[in-house]
Structure 1
Amino acid sequence: MTYPTSRSGSALPASLICAVLAGLLAATNACAADTADAAGPSWKFSGFGTLGAVHADTREADYTSTVMHATGAGRSAPWSVEVDSRLGAQLDVARGPWSAVLQVVSEQDLEGGYAPRVEWANVKYQATPDLVIRLGRIALPVFLAADYRKVGYTLPWVRTPVEVYGSLPISSSDGVDATWRWSGGALRHATQVFWGHTDTHLYEDRRLHARGIVGLSHSIEGGALSLRLSALTAHLTTGVGADLFQALRAFGPQGRALAARYAIEDKRVSMASIGASYDPGAWFLNAEIGRANTDSLLGRTTAMYVGGGVRRGSLTPYAGYARVRAHGATSDPGLQLAALPAGARSAAAAVNLALNTYLATIPQQSTASAGLRWDVLDNVALKAQYDRVVPGAGSRGSLINPSRDFRPGHGIHVTSLALDFVF
């Protein structure tokens, strides 16, 4: 596993398991017939983890690093280890132009369990010195930290900004990609095209299915500067809100129109982002902005963050600001009660309330952060971070499990401790 330095679950389909095993065998035997190559395949085992503890001063909702978690800090418990804690292991094997990787990560899921999930499982072929082709489960190359967003040690802060990275809670897909590396003057370029799909278990019988994921990512490096531009599109289907949409359709044409508008059923979703990092060594500055569009309960949002810090020996104080805002409606009048029979109005009002409860999940939020990283050892970092999180009007922001007493617009104070390590 190659990590940047401190400077800067779904089940695996049987067909993909077979492909990766075949790749491992290919990497092992690719050059067996070549008598000039006496060396065997190279194997490498590595891993990473975070032991975290987070406190939030609210009892009205849970603060968490991703909506793919069941609980967090706040309403469920004042202190939580679920927000950032995870453990990952990776196996790499390479021989000749062939290589393969298998990465497994254990962290809390939407059902509160920690069943290990295959994060990566792909075979790579170095077709030419500049062209690489991969097949299998591959990290979605969106945002600067796409390849290492779960490896806390590689991040200067405790976690990637939830306002930005929360817009893409899935981090990998099953498919194929090709990366062409080339140079232009003093700049090094990497152009990556990818295609795939994902079918992820959420909770109970609910799944997230994204088909026809197609995208382009382009990275540029020159000296201390790194840039990444990414775009993708897909058709998304989830079972989230299925009971609500079934109830809406029972109210005739107006209910069916609302269900067609908001149901996450084969809806096209598109994302675009640009990020930049400048890191001359003694200090660093990162910034990203992204836009997500879908005509469904997920809404349309723009998210950004900027952050930086200075390095003083083993200590790195840092600060940052992140924000996400919605475009379009985050509430809806819903069913027109006056147009319904008197006996149906009470049920329709309850359906309208449920619809607007879902629309309140479209994130609007800002976070101001400050923290300190201490590199205890070459492969161990201890971090402490303070965040002031303010959900926007009419939104619960990135918080989960809100109570009926939850009030948007009120600041929440979050304190985080994290011990990150790699091996």
Structure 2
Amino acid sequence: MNINRLALITVITSTASMTAYGNSVEQLTNQVKQLNQRLLDQEQRLRINGFATVGVVQQDLEEGYHRGITDELNWRRYSKAALQFTFNIDENTSFVTQLISRGEEDFDTTAEWMYLKHNFGNGWSTKIGRLRKPNYILSEFFDVGYAMPWTQPPVEVYGVLEESANYEAIDFTYDFEIGDWSAFAQAQYGRSETDSSVSPDLFAFNFNMNYDYLTLRAGYSRADTFFQPDSDIGTLSVGVNAAYEAAYASAGLTFDGQVGLNEETAQLAQFFGVAAMYDSDTWLLMAEFNSLEFDGLGVDEDGFYLVGGYRFGQFMPFISYARSESTDDDDREAPITMNPVVDGAVVATQLSFNKEQDRFSLGLRYDFKPGIAFKIQYDSVDTGDTIGEFDTFPSEDTTDVISATVDLVF
């Protein structure tokens, strides 16, 4: 009797254990399935893109041109690599980060973009965080060499963007249609700070229209801007401020106050730009003009470029012309204080801010694989007895620049 009871208990216990074990395996299997589904969902929500450029550039003269290009082969100036992460929080909200490493900055990695985007519907969307300034037709693709014909975009127009491409801001964009045209209007507000200047309150507006192969855009931005103490104008003030104060002691004026070296003396800066692009399967035609103006002693400057390319097969030869010039040279030639000593020092230094540059370019682009392009470009640069885009005054007015890049996107 006891033996039968013991056997029955053993059978019942074993059956319960097997049932519990089966349930545990089933639960574990379900958990693994749920985890795999979550991972799959995350993969679908996270998109990773990237681009890179490997480039080399050299020019004729010893003096540095456009931030360090000399008569020695420079493998770092144009080389860069970046990854962009887009995480879709839901169907209307996403977070975007772009990390980039540039050769000219010793390949240190920085966050170029970092913003939260939300679509409200009916064409409205907003972004907040670290954004790209919308000043140019190629602003969004400025670092992506694969997206443009040149080995490097024309410094005569895009030089300002290289020094001040991003800022912390909020953006509102409205997408709509005008007949057969698709269009969007964009407004941004934020703070911009670079090594040379600070704009605490920057407003930017951009309007873009597209029809078939044709794109048109216009943009305007404005900000009260002051210069950093170690900028060119800040350095100039160190040498002349004392003499300027002495000359205007009765009026209580300072040179620092006239040029804007702090937030209280900031000067209004305004930027205006227009552009057009025709990009078909065969032809690429682009033109862009911009104008930068300062109320103070910052350099007023106009710049433009024209470029045309013809595609056949995997090749596109192109020709380009660009020009930039300072437009307030006469202001710097005029006496400031009526004190010959002060005026001599100020005017002599300020004349170094006068600039003029013409650049004629010939190039060839070869798309030898999907997402990979090889480019070679020749530039003839004329600075017309000014500093142009050189880092210091060049020993000659003209120089030849040769560059080559391999650009890729993935």
Matches within 5 A, 1:93-242: 93-94=87-88, 95-108=90-103, 113-168=106-161, 169-200=163-194, 202=195, 208-239=197-228, 240=231, 241-242=233-234
**Aligned residue pair count:** 356
Q: Give the secondary structure class of the aligned counterpart of 1:165.
A: helix
- Relative distance call for 1:297 and 1:88 in structure 2 (3 A) is farther
How far 1:215 moved relative to its partner? 1.4
Q: Give the secondary structure class of the aligned counterpart of 2:303.
A: strand
* Cα separation, 2, equivalents of 1:316 and 1:47: 24
How far 1:148 moved relative to its partner? 0.5
Q: Sequence identity of aligned pairs in percent?
A: 23
Is it true that 1:417 corresponds to 2:404 in the alignment?
Answer: yes
Matches within 5 A, 1:3-402: 39-40=41-42, 42-59=45-62, 61-64=63-66, 69=67, 71-74=68-71, 78-94=72-88, 95-108=90-103, 113-168=106-161, 169-200=163-194, 202=195, 208-239=197-228, 240=231, 241-251=233-243, 252-254=245-247, 256=253, 258-263=255-260, 265=262, 266-329=266-329, 331-332=332-333, 339=339, 351-352=345-346, 356-357=348-349, 359-393=351-385, 395-402=386-393
Q: Give the secondary structure class of the aligned counterpart of 1:80.
A: coil
Q: Higher mean Cα deviation, 158-167 or 241-250? A: 241-250
- Relative distance call for 1:172 and 1:359 in structure 2 (3 A) is farther
Alpha-carbon contact 1:264-1:296 (below 8 Å) kept: no
How far 1:262 moved relative to its partner? 3.6
Alpha-carbon contact 2:86-2:95 (below 8 Å) kept: yes
Alpha-carbon contact 2:236-2:349 (below 8 Å) kept: no
Cα deviations across residues 54-95 of structure 1 (Å, max 9, x unaligned)? 110012x2122xxxx4x2224xxx221233111211111112
Question: Unpaired runs of 5+ in structure 2?
Answer: 1-39
How far 1:39 moved relative to its partner? 4.8
Q: Give the secondary structure class of the aligned counterpart of 1:164.
A: helix
* Cα separation, 1, equivalents of 2:297 and 2:52: 33
Q: Give the secondary structure class of the aligned counterpart of 1:81.
A: coil
How far 1:361 moved relative to its partner? 3.5
How far 1:407 moved relative to its partner? 4.2
TM-score normalised over the length of structure 2: 0.80
* Cα separation, 1, equivalents of 2:54 and 2:304: 27
Which amino acid in 2 is paired with 1:62? G
Q: Higher mean Cα deviation, 366-375 or 258-267? A: 258-267
Rg larger for:
2
Cα deviations across residues 324-368 of structure 1 (Å, max 9, x unaligned)? 12212274466779x57xxxx6xx69944xx64454244311100
* Cα separation, 2, equivalents of 1:295 and 1:324: 19
- Relative distance call for 1:238 and 1:262 in structure 2 (3 A) is closer
* Cα separation, 1, equivalents of 2:380 and 2:108: 31
Question: Unpaired runs of 5+ in structure 1?
Answer: 1-37
- Relative distance call for 1:295 and 1:364 in structure 2 (3 A) is farther
Quick check: which one's helix share is greater? 2
- Relative distance call for 1:296 and 1:388 in structure 2 (3 A) is farther
Alpha-carbon contact 1:279-1:285 (below 8 Å) kept: yes
Aligned to 2:20: none
- Relative distance call for 1:377 and 1:273 in structure 2 (3 A) is same
Which amino acid in 2 is paired with 1:125? H
Q: Give the secondary structure class of the aligned counterpart of 2:387.
A: coil
Alpha-carbon contact 2:78-2:103 (below 8 Å) kept: no
Alpha-carbon contact 2:318-2:363 (below 8 Å) kept: yes
Q: Give the secondary structure class of the aligned counterpart of 2:308.
A: strand
* Cα separation, 1, equivalents of 2:321 and 2:343: 39
Aligned to 2:37: none
TM-score normalised over the length of structure 1: 0.78
- Relative distance call for 1:104 and 1:407 in structure 2 (3 A) is same
RMSD: 2.4
Cα deviations across residues 175-228 of structure 1 (Å, max 9, x unaligned)? 10011000011101100011011223x3xxxx5322111011000000110011
* Cα separation, 2, equivalents of 1:357 and 1:80: 30
Q: Higher mean Cα deviation, 231-240 or 363-372? A: 231-240
Cα deviations across residues 284-305 of structure 1 (Å, max 9, x unaligned)? 1000011110134531111111
- Relative distance call for 1:172 and 1:99 in structure 2 (3 A) is same
* Cα separation, 2, equivalents of 1:307 and 1:91: 32
Q: Which has the higher contact order (CA 8 A, sep 6+)?
A: 1
* Cα separation, 2, equivalents of 1:281 and 1:327: 38
How far 1:245 moved relative to its partner? 1.1
